Amino acid sequence: MLFWIAAAFITFLVTASVLYPLTRGSRSAVPEASYDREIYKARLNEIDNDLAIDRISADEAEAAKAEEGRRLINSSQSGSDTKSTSSKGSNKSAIVGAVIFLPLFTMLIYLLSGTPDLSDQTLAVRLKADPERQSITNLLERAEVQLVRNPNDGKGWSIVAPVYLRLGRIDDAVNAFRNTLRLLGETPERMSSLGEALVISSQGVVTDEAFDLFTRATKSSQGHVKSKFFLALAMGQNGQPAKAVTAWEQLLAQAQADAPWVPVAKANLEAQLGLLGKSSKEATVTTGLPGPTKDDIQAAGQMDASSRNAMIEGMVANLAEKLAEDPTNDAGWRRLIRSYTVLGKSEEALQAIGEARLALPDNKEFQEHLDQAELAISKSNSTKDGSSQ
């Protein structure tokens, strides 16, 4: 009922604004020549005033009056003296049409296209309605407005979080996943999603917070593939190649061949085996074992191409820049060399090893790690050369 009262009031205001000009009394137009004569008289008065205060001489005053007279004559001869016109009475037909047609027309349009009795919809329903008719940007903007009004809408945060991630708005994605976890509670998927966003935000490095989230997710669900994937990645980044190899082998043993994360896992496994001086042929990976559950595969499938590239290739460019500023960061050198190795860029990896030797000559443990990495790369290259022959 309140809606119809508001609609009627707005209709009244619109109609009144249309009718007001039509209800004004008739008004005659003033001839243009009369304006010219009034201006002529005003100019003569100004000339007389200037003469009285000695601003101009008598000759100048006469010349000015003659000039004004010529202007008046020219104006009269140009035919500018128009006949007066008048609007007799109000346009009754226009008033009647506005009073009757305008409200009926607007009401008809609204009844055909509007739904005043439709109840308010939740954010989830709004985002899912008519997706083909709305761009992802428009949907996201609507969701953001709704979340500003209701920042405790956990369901809304859970919807926009993966959208932010897909659009590359990583910081917003991290914030949205945090709010989802805070408002809706912990589940393996929510914890791993926040952990994944943190990994992408840190250019592929599994931070301590992310590691904790993946660990907790794994404890809640032993078969959670995404969490196991990142935990295996973290072991390699933390300089634990033996544990990383075991983790990758166990993960691959349960994987289906077409799982999107399998190529990345195999590349990391080979890299860690190389650090141990082993080849991929010596790995104990088995196939044909029961695969993960449908939910696990669906969770792993959410790791799109951009995420996987950010996990590997993203480390290279960013770490190289950071190491140029701080070459004494041994952990950074380890990650950079490992990234090059995973990407199959042996020459870049060997070059990074040489630069790392010069940057940290007194770190014996690190120098030994570099020796092992260089030896592993050399063995891998020899194996590839032998197989190609």
CA distance 245 to 284: 10
Asked whether 178 and 196 are in contact (CB, 8 A), the reply is: no
* pLDDT at residue 308 in the model: 47
* Structural domain for 377, as ranges: 324-381
**Backbone angle region of 307, left / alpha / beta, with phi > 0 → left and psi within -120 to 50 → alpha:** alpha
Structure-token pair, residue 266: 């195999």
The reply to whether 361 falls in a domain is: yes
For residue 153, CA distances in Å to 122, 160, 176, 177, 206 come to 10, 11, 11, 12, 29
Split into its structural domains, the chain has a count of: 1
Structure-token pair, residue 327: 């070459």
CA distance 323 to 344: 20
pTM: 0.44
Structure-token pair, residue 313: 């290739």
The reply to whether 150 falls in a domain is: no
* pLDDT at residue 305 in the model: 47
The reply to whether 334 falls in a domain is: yes
The reply to whether 332 falls in a domain is: yes
* pLDDT at residue 13 in the model: 75
* pLDDT at residue 383 in the model: 65
Asked whether 113 and 97 are in contact (CB, 8 A), the reply is: no
What single letter denotes the amino acid at residue 7?
A
CA distance 101 to 98: 5
The reply to whether 357 falls in a domain is: yes
* pLDDT at residue 289 in the model: 29
Give the distance, in angstroms, between the CA of residue 49 and the centroid of all CA atoms in the same chain. 71
Q: What angle do CA 163, 166, 167 make, to 5 degrees?
A: 90
The reply to whether 358 falls in a domain is: yes
The reply to whether 143 falls in a domain is: no
Side-chain half-sphere of 124: how many Cα atoms within 13 Å?
Answer: 6
CB atoms within 10 A of CB 271: 28
In this prediction, the residues of the chain whose per-residue pLDDT falls under 50 are: 29, 80-90, 131, 133, 281-303, 305-306, 308-309
The reply to whether 209 falls in a domain is: no
pLDDT in tens, 306-365: 454 455 555 566 667 778 788 888 877 887 887 777 777 888 888 888 888 888 888 888
- Give the relative orientation of helices 364-388 and 330-342 as an angle to the nearest 10 degrees: 10
What single letter denotes the amino acid at residue 371?
D
* pLDDT at residue 170 in the model: 92
Give the distance, in angstroms, between the CA of residue 165 and the centroid of all CA atoms in the same chain. 9
Nearest alpha carbon to residue 266 among 374, 209, 342, 319: 342
* pLDDT at residue 119 in the model: 58
Asked whether 157 and 180 are in contact (CB, 8 A), the reply is: yes
